[in-house]
Amino acid sequence: MHRLARAPASSANLGPGFDTLAVALGLFIEVELRERPQGLLVEAEGEGADLATGASHLAAQVACKVLGHDRLGLRIRSEIPVARGLGSSAALAVAAAAAAGVEEGAVGAFRWGAAIDGHPENAAASAFGGLVTAALVDDQPVARSLRLDPELSFVVVVPDLRLSTPAARDILPESVPYEDAVFNLGRMGLLVAGLADHRGLLATAGDDRLHQQARSVLLPEAPAILAGLRDAGALTSCWSGAGPSILAMSTRERAPALAESARQLMSSLELSGQVLEVPPGLRGVEVYDLD
């Protein structure tokens, strides 16, 4: 057996859709898997290549569990920044499960990704592509695809700061006021409608009262970035997942100018990092037999 699986990055929450919405982004991770006579070999390049190796690598853990043995050679190539709120772990788990030949294809890879990563919305976006909504129903991950306007594109501000999801979650309040919950529900409805047709996407549709303000202590520049991106022409802006990346939604035509404005904004804030101009990842996980 010799397969390669390719899965896209994802941006979750999208502002008000906390732990519910995600969109796949045109940044990818590849897992190439080959069965070996004996022993496990893991090679990695690109983003995250300096992290875990051997049996401790997430791709190895997933592939070995799916296949039931460790006689594998794995090569991982990633262009997804790690610990930046871009779903790198979910994409890796989905790709590894798919490369290992998990049953039910993308659906099976989604279930494995959700179980391993703990975030069904990220796993759903990487498995199915496009815009998704996901939740746990009776402890089982369930996902559905939503309409995404083909004119949309994205600009991502990626600071040189790694931020783990547990650390970003620990800072959140244990409860929120009733009016804040209602606020988010209303904004999420507006956001889903606007993502289906960018002409109706309100700048305030990316607003949130459940997590973004609390997390701003981890990235003090975040409020200025969010506002600056909207001032520069973003349709709306929000944290990408648990951050620290910030996502701006744009039309494809406007995205290059918005990306340049984002670079100037980072420079004015003396914030190191990179700005990525990325299309949506519309295809989800793809598997290729290499034998």
Check whether the bond before 220 is cis (ω within 30° of 0): no
With 0-12 CB in 10 A as exposed, 13-18 as middle and 19+ as buried, what is 39? exposed
pLDDT for position 49? 86
Torsion of CA 47, 145, 185, 194, to 10 degrees: 90
pLDDT at 164 over 90: no
In angstroms, the CA 64 to CA 67 distance is 5
Q: What is the mean pLDDT of residues 67-77?
A: 95
CA-based nearest residue to 153, from 28, 282, 35, 39? 282
Are 93 and 58 within 8 A, CB to CB?
yes
In angstroms, the CA 174 to CA 38 distance is 48
CATH topology of domain 2-147: Ribosomal Protein S5; domain 2 (3.30.230)
154, β-bridge pairs: 249, 278
Are 206 and 14 within 8 A, CB to CB?
yes
pLDDT at 53 over 90: no
pLDDT for position 71? 94
Topology agreement, domain 2-147 and domain 152-278: no
Between the alpha carbon of residue 248 and those of residues 147, 152, 156, 205, the distances in Å are 18, 10, 6, 12
Q: What is the mean pLDDT of residues 173-179?
A: 92
Between the alpha carbon of residue 262 and those of residues 102, 216, 269, the distances in Å are 40, 18, 11
Q: 152-278 belongs to which CATH class?
A: alpha beta
pLDDT for position 121? 98
pLDDT at 236 over 90: yes
pLDDT at 250 over 90: yes
pLDDT at 52 over 80: no
Whether the full predicted model's pTM is greater than 0.85, yes or no, is yes
Q: What is the mean pLDDT of residues 40-60?
A: 90
Q: What is the mean pLDDT of residues 192-208?
A: 96
Return the ∠ at Cα 26 (arms to 25 and 29), rounded to 5°.
95
For 62, the 3-state DSSP assignment is helix
In angstroms, the CA 167 to CA 268 distance is 27
| Start-to-end Cα distance in the chain | 7
Q: What is the mean pLDDT of residues 35-39?
A: 90
**Residue with tokens 């996902």, as numbered in its chain:** 143
In percent, how much of the chain has pLDDT > 90? Answer: 89
Residue boundaries of the structural domains of the chain: 2-147, 152-278
Q: What is the mean pLDDT of residues 6-35?
A: 97
CA 269 to chain centre: 25
**Residue 167: pLDDT band with limits 50, 70, 90:** confident
pLDDT for position 291? 80
